[in-house]
Amino acid sequence: MARKIGLFVLALTMVGAMCGAALAADTLADVKKKGVLVAGVKDSLPPFGSVDPNTKEFVGYDIDFVKYIAKKLGVKVEYKPVSSANRMPMLMESRIDLIAATMTKNPERAKQIDFSYTYFLTGQKFLTKKGTVKSLKDLEGQKIATAKGSTSEQNVAKAVPSATVLSFDDYPQGVLALQQGKAIAVTTDESILAGQLGKLEKNPATKGQYEIPEFAISEEPYGIGMRKGDTNFVKFVNDTILEMEKNGEAAKIFEKWFGPNSDSPIARGNFKITADKRGTE
């Protein structure tokens, strides 16, 4: 009998330990203790996240949000480059504290991680050679380039089932395939395409030859990704980005990277950061 009770107590302690481990995930406290916020960001995707060739520092829309959050926390930031495919595992393995890497919120992802409110809203469009694509019809049966592990890949397969989707490791390779005529279009969120179009426009050899046709195939709300159940941290990040909307910081950052004088001008329209649940349900 004593042994049985002993076993029972042991079992209870183990369950208790497991619950403890689950509850212990408090990134907010950890980050403050460490004094460093480790942010997973893109490193070759202007205007969201890229490395400035002159200063060797990370710059971009995502980066400015991370910077503001870190400043509010009173900690330093360490940037870790992530790809569309590895960012979720990196977060779940605690190798980064949050993801700010052009990440679309969707219900499947929301089952695995928690998202902040939408801090950027865009739609999936196509980058093409001028005049070649006017509607979705022109894409049927063609080769379309995109990046592996992205939502864009899944959306385009649904929107144009007859097309062949060529998935590359990243978007610049897709743009290269487009330039070489190996694909008729590159598809992903307008914001990313605007950055790629900006690069093409800067190059005298390709200036004026490419465009992003009007039509879109989806709405893409971006969220900052955090570990599942990390309630305090999620609340802190949400409060922070709401504050950024209120004090005009969010609009300023948008203007800096997407305003009329930027390399990738797009309209913010009536988008505002609000306590929304876009994309997660």
Partner 1 sequence: MTYKFDWAIVTSGKYFDWIVSGFYVTIKLSAVSIALSFLLGLIIAIMRMSSFHPVRWFAHGYLEFFRNTPLLVQIFFWYFGSYKVLPAVANDWLARQDFEFAAAVIALTIYTSAFIAEDIRSGVRSIPKEQMEAARSSGFSYIRSMQYIILPQAVRLTIPPLINQFLNLMKNSSLAMTIGVAELMYQARQVESYTFKGFEAFSAATLVYVAISFTITGLMTLYDKTVLRPLKGR
Q: Which residues bind partner 1 (CB under 8 A)?
A: 22, 85, 88-89, 92, 108-109, 112, 143, 145, 148-150, 153-154, 165-169, 173, 176-177, 180-183, 228
DSSP letters for 129-151 = ETTT-SSGGGGTTSEEEEETT-H
Indicate the residue among 75 and 165 with the shorter CB distance to partner 1: 165
Indicate the residue among 36 and 85 with the shorter CB distance to partner 1: 85
Instruction: Give the CA angle between residues 181, 185, 187 to the nearest 5°.
Output: 145
- Shortest spacing between CB 112 and partner 1, in angstroms: 6
Indicate the residue among 231 and 274 with the shorter CB distance to partner 1: 231
Indicate the residue among 36 and 165 with the shorter CB distance to partner 1: 165
- Rounded CA-CA distance 133/255 in Å is 29
Indicate the residue among 78 and 169 with the shorter CB distance to partner 1: 169
Q: Which amino acid is at 74?
A: G
CB 151 within 8 A of CB 122: no
Indicate the residue among 45 and 145 with the shorter CB distance to partner 1: 145
- Shortest spacing between CB 146 and partner 1, in angstroms: 9
- Shortest spacing between CB 264 and partner 1, in angstroms: 24
Structure tokens at 53: 């060739």
Alpha helices, DSSP H only, in the chain?
A: 2-23, 27-34, 61-73, 87-92, 107-112, 151-159, 171-179, 190-202, 231-246, 249-258
- Shortest spacing between CB 269 and partner 1, in angstroms: 30
Residue with tokens 């950052």: 253
- Shortest spacing between CB 177 and partner 1, in angstroms: 8
Could you tell me which residues come within 8 angstroms of residue 133 by beta carbon, excluding any fewer than 6 positions away?
126, 139, 184, 185, 213
- Shortest spacing between CB 270 and partner 1, in angstroms: 32
